Amino acid sequence: MDLQQLFQKEGKQLIKKKHEHVFMQGDHDYCFYFVQSGLLKGYYTLETGKEFIKSFVQSQDIIGSLSAVYLEKASTFSLRCLEETTLLEIPYAVLARYGKQYHCIANDIIDLLLKFALKKEQREFEFLCLSAQERYALLLNSSPQLLARVTQNDIAAYLGVTPVGLSRIKQRLTHQVTLT
């Protein structure tokens, strides 16, 4: 048995409409979610009211709040649907139980965590070493189909700039391109 089969077997199916939340920043959510279809955003809300997007979550992804699930603290971010989305929900306790019993599940969890860690490391690299314009160019290259499904506001919030800033970046890029 692998992790995905475990979700199929033990997961509870949730169907969420566009704009609905799976959980909110501050919640003590103790579940992981496998995305069967749809699109979501994980985002931070600051005291100032500003919103920043941690990640877009797509079909076949597994998502959960590590700080809520593992540290048993309040979730540091909210998870909200950008499109109608179907998920399979599984409590962490169930996952942990299977992990202890089946080595292959434990290995899948290690695998999942490693991929997650690598993804976060890559994003850290981009923020640490690259300009907003370079980050946008990378995103455009790696995920054009994702960008098409998402508003400019959300892309900006993902890059860590304002919508106005992103608009200027796009303008600069297209001018440069047509120059060459």
Q: Which residues sit at the interface with a copy of itself, rule CB under 8 A?
A: 44, 46, 50, 52, 54, 66-67, 70-71, 76, 99-100, 103, 106-107, 109-110, 113-114, 116-118, 120-121, 123-125, 127-129, 160
**Closer to a copy of itself by Cβ: residue 18 or 28:** 28
**Closer to a copy of itself by Cβ: residue 2 or 124:** 124
Residue 171 interacts with DNA (CB under 7 A): yes or no: yes
**Closer to DNA by Cβ: residue 67 or 131:** 131
* Segment interacting with DNA, rule: CB under 7 A, options 1-9, 26-34, 118-126, 147-155: 147-155
Q: What is the 3-state secondary structure (H, E, C) of the chain?
A: CCHHHHHHHHCEEEEECCCCEEECCCCCCCEEEEEEECEEEEEEECCCCCEEEEEEEECCCEECCHHHHCCCCCCCCEEEECCCEEEEEEEHHHHHHHHHHCHHHHHHHHHHHHHHHHHHHHHHHHHHHCCHHHHHHHHHHHCHHHHHCCCHHHHHHHHCCCHHHHHHHHHHHHHHHHHC
Number of residues that bind DNA (CB under 7 A): 18
* Segment interacting with DNA, rule: CB under 7 A, options 6-14, 52-60, 66-74, 151-159: 151-159
Residue 176 interacts with DNA (CB under 7 A): yes or no: no
CB proximity list for 19: less than 8 A, separation 6 or greater? 80, 81
Site string for DNA, 94-133 (x = CB under 7 A): -------------------------------------xxx
